[in-house]
Homo-oligomer: A and B are copies of this chain.
Amino acid sequence: MLDALGDPTRRVILETLRRGGPCSVSTLAGQVPVSRPAISQHLKVLGAVGLVRHESRGTRNIYRIHRTGLDELRDWLDQFWGDALEAYADHIRRTEDRTVPGRPDVRTEEERDEH
C-alpha cells in the first residue's frame, strides 16, 4: 500500500487519473514521461493494492481511481494516530510514579517532554 504510493511516477499516474478522470493506458502513457510498458507495470501494482480499477472496453483498458486503497490508508492513519496517543499516555503514566516523594515538582528526566 504505502509501498505503492512510495514511487513518484506512480503518484504522477494517480494524479493524472485524478485530474483527468478515467483514462486508457496509451493516453496515460502520453501524459506521463515514461514508456507504455512501464505504465502497465505501475498500474498492475496500483491495482494490486486497490488504488485503481480497470475495465476492458474493446482493445482498450480504461483505468480509474478506486477508493478501496485510499480508505485503507485512511484507516491505517486513524488507527496509527489513536494508538500513538494511547501509547504516549501510557508512557506518561509509566513514568509518573518516578516522581520524587515529598517533592512533587521534581521529576525524573524521562517525564519531561517538549524541550
Contacts and interface: CB of A to CB of B under 8 A. Distances in A.
Interface of A: 2-3, 5-8, 11, 14, 18-22, 55, 57, 64-65, 67, 70, 73-74, 77, 80-81, 83-84, 87-88, 90-91, 94, 109-110, 113, 115
Copies of this subunit = 2
Contact of A7 (B6, B67, B113): B6
Contact of A6 (B6, B19, B64, B88): B6
B6 A3 contact: yes
Contacts of A70: 77, 80-81
A20 B77 contact: no
Nearest to A92: B21
A90 B20 CA distance: 9
Given A3-B6, A5-B5, A18 B77 contact: no
Contacts of A77: 70, 73-74, 77
